[in-house]
Chain A
């Protein structure tokens, strides 16, 4: 079943104007089509200057996160049938906009770099794989599904107020290694994330959980980090 939708899109074309504006496009879409399909149709048929990121188009690469009717979501994973006729689209909040729906994610990725985002284990590796029980692997199962789309961190009020705050995505990355039984850098990683702009800043507002396209309970993971930090004697930075 197809239907007309109005896409109201926040535009920013820096070479045309220093200020942003809202444009409206009316397009016909099938009910099972995605917001991304709508954006592509607009770009192809109505306005070739409309700019957004895209790649896999099925929720695994994390390119097309944007604010759709007030919530950060992946355009490729949001079906128009689940939205009202008026679809309002903005870039992810609180990051500098490069053009239209494309934001500069440098700040977001840099946070990740601060948590030692790699497995550290200097023990000589065994001849075969390191043994890890299914139970232990399950501890990190949810956290490894993160696609780093940026929906969570840019929806976090603490991040809006404190751009130095590590934010949910980087903390989830820290969790992924802190709770991986093969990793040996617990203390140095905790050291890095328990400072003034670290894990204690999370006030369990749950915005991140609400928007995560992979349905990761990020707040639960952050709470576990806090518990581990307390156990290991790392105090709050506030």
Chain B
């Protein structure tokens, strides 16, 4: 076995918005390597459509204080208010900086960054929707990702594309580096470093219907969990209300921000009943529940399992200029022109609020007391700061990636001089090599596809928008069974060259681990808050559950500890819109 060894002061996993933004921060101090299992600009950040939030006030009066309030309320009061405040106030210089870096934002008639309405973003603490989402048509993620990647190129950041991370090595309370495989030729690479920043994105692929890319499988979270580190608030997974029926492809909330409305089988604008003040622009958890409630009560379109997103009354020019991408998606994948016919939509697994716990500077926490793993950072969707709490507001995810990507990069840079160079021990490399070789040569009787399909189906059926004890318990039994089946997995591709079957097997193994954490976390939280809706515990229970879940792996299975929510300005109140 030949090992290729590398040393970089900072190694970043993932080349989406958080990874690229962190790299820009780190490149001025020390050497930086960014690894991606895709070509960098193929990262799923590129699929973000509607906008990035900042109270610029370009279209109407706005303030970061209102943005903070909306985010706290949107989080169903589970978000940490110190972190939220940082994000909402940092938002303004962050967006301006992105513009200076070249992001081609859409413009107002005066030539400023254009802004539009988005779910849960209001003026005057909930009075009415406000134009806060800065956008580049409905390709905002693509526009920001390209600009950040281009700036990385300009600054000479070294990218290792199509490298799959196999292990993140944490020993003696410090990160030592990572082990990865070059997908192209199957060669093993060890990257030792002082700092590792995980910016690996989400894991929507554990669900059957999702807006997420095939690459969104979450293995980095699982790698930390398996070595005893906690994952925070994993029960909170966001279902975006408007996924294309049957496919789950995202139709941006910006469509409703530009005037689109949801209608049921009776032709009613049903959101008026669920959120009388801001109606279709209510936060995603509420709209997703409303859609599924309509469907359950027989008011889907023709009694079926979808509703309509109606854009027929929206000015054609707005569709062409501000929503061209979703117009194209509807035409290609559904054969529907949104200016002439309503779009069939259904909630789609979209965003993980939970993840690797970090402090406000991106340092990875190893426990609820705030103690950290030295040199290890996380930012973006894989991380949980927590700014999104129990439910993320639209256009706050892109903001989170750049604000906390920058902060993680900055903190890593400041700590470099005091940090030791990591060392990845031979036995750890041998173990990783052995695992991947065993998998590559696996000759069992189970196929990857059938295990994955069963996993995604049962997670969708029993752990998506509505949850209940009985089903969650059944789910956990099924997950045990899937784990057993995975041991009997069989691969047909035994080659070293671009072995995507092997990668899928690695991803699947981690997806099962993560699903278990999600399901177990959902079972223990006996209340309903934000995206976590327990039908057997329909109310929010601040007395017992105003706290973050930390899930740990132990000999007794998954165990839990809890961390209090940081509440500064806004006391929990009933969440009505």
Residue interface bits A12-36, CB-to-B below 8 A is 1, else 0: 0111100000000000000010000
Per-residue B-contact encoding for A127-169, CB less than 8 Å = 1, 0 else: 1111111101100110011011000000000000000000000
- A contact face: mostly helix, strand, loop, or mixed: loop
**Is A83 an interface residue when CB atoms closer than 8 A count as contact?**
no
**Given A49, A113, A133, A134, which contacts B495 in the complex, CB threshold below 8 Å?**
A49
The answer to whether B142 touches A147 (Cβ under 8 A) is: yes
Q: Which of A13, A136, A137, A182 has the most CB of B within 10 A?
A: A137
**Distance (Å) between the CB of B449 and the closest chain A CB?**
4
Chain A minimum-CB-distance residue to B215: A55
Per-residue interface assignment for chain B, residues 101 to 113, with 1 indicating a CB less than 8 Å from any chain A CB and 0 otherwise: 1101111111111
Within the assembled complex, what's the spacing in Å between the Cα atoms of A48 and B96?
A: 48
Contact A61 B498 (CB under 8 A): no
B125 close to A (CB within 8 Å): no
Interface residues of B in 243-259 (CB under 8 A from A): 246-247, 249
Beyond A51-B498, A145-B139, is A117–B153 a contact (Cβ under 8 Å)? yes
Asked if A44 CB lies within 8 Å of chain B CBs, one says yes
A61 with B44, Cβ < 8 A, contacts A129-B96, A129-B112, A131-B112 known = yes
Give the number of chain A interface residues (Cβ < 8 Å).
58
A22 CB to closest chain B CB, in angstroms? Answer: 19
Closest residue on chain B to residue A177 by CB atoms: B102
- B-chain residues with CB within 8 Å of residue A47 when the two chains form the complex: 492
Count CB-based A-B contacts (< 8 Å).
156
- For B134, the closest partner residue in chain A by CB is A129
Contact A130-B329, Cβ < 8 Å, known A99-B498, A109-B39: no
Contacts A77-B332, A119-B147 given; does A15 touch B496 at CB 8 Å: yes
Q: Given contacts A55-B215, A137-B107, A180-B102, is CB(A15)–CB(B495) below 8 Å?
A: yes
CA distance A147 to B145 in the complex (A): 11
Tell me the minimal C-beta distance from A35 to chain B in angstroms. 12
Is the Cβ of B100 less than 8 Å from the Cβ of A130? Answer: yes
Type the 1/0 row for B265-301, where 1 means its CB is closer than 8 Å to any CB of A.
Answer: 0000000000000000000000000000000000000
Distance of B105 from chain A, by nearest CB (Å): 8
Contacting A at CB under 8 A, from B70-106, are 95-96, 99-102, 104-106
Of all chain A residues, the one with the shortest Cβ separation from B111 is: A131
Are B113 and A129 in contact, with the CB atoms below 8 A? yes
Tell me how far the C-beta of B508 lies from the nearest C-beta in chain A, rounded to whole angstroms.
12
Contact call B215/A45, Cβ cutoff below 8 A: no
- Determine if A223 is an interface residue (Cβ-Cβ < 8 Å): no
Do A140 and B142 form a contact, CB below 8 Å, given A54-B214, A61-B46? no
Q: Please tell me if the beta carbons of B497 and A118 are within 8 angstroms of each other in the complex.
A: no
Judge if A56 is at the interface, Cβ distance under 8 Å: yes
Once A49-B492, A60-B47 are accepted as A-B contacts, the answer to whether A134 and B111 lie under 8 Å apart by CB is: yes
Bound: A113/B333 CA distance, A? 34
Q: In the complex, are the beta carbons of B501 and A105 less than 8 A apart? A: no
A residues lining the B interface (CB < 8 Å): 13-16, 32, 43-45, 47-49, 51-52, 54-63, 77, 79, 98-99, 102, 104-105, 109, 113, 117-121, 125, 127-134, 136-137, 140-141, 144-145, 147-148, 177, 180, 182-183
Known: A32-B333, A58-B247; 12 extra A-B contacts, CB below 8 A, are A48-B492, A52-B500, A55-B215, A59-B329, A59-B332, A60-B139, A61-B38, A118-B153, A121-B100, A129-B99, A177-B102, A182-B102
27 pairs across A/B with beta carbons < 8 Å? Answer: A43-B501, A44-B448, A44-B449, A51-B500, A55-B213, A55-B214, A55-B215, A58-B47, A60-B142, A79-B332, A98-B498, A99-B495, A105-B39, A118-B102, A118-B150, A119-B102, A129-B105, A131-B111, A131-B112, A132-B107, A132-B111, A134-B111, A137-B106, A140-B104, A144-B136, A145-B139, A180-B104
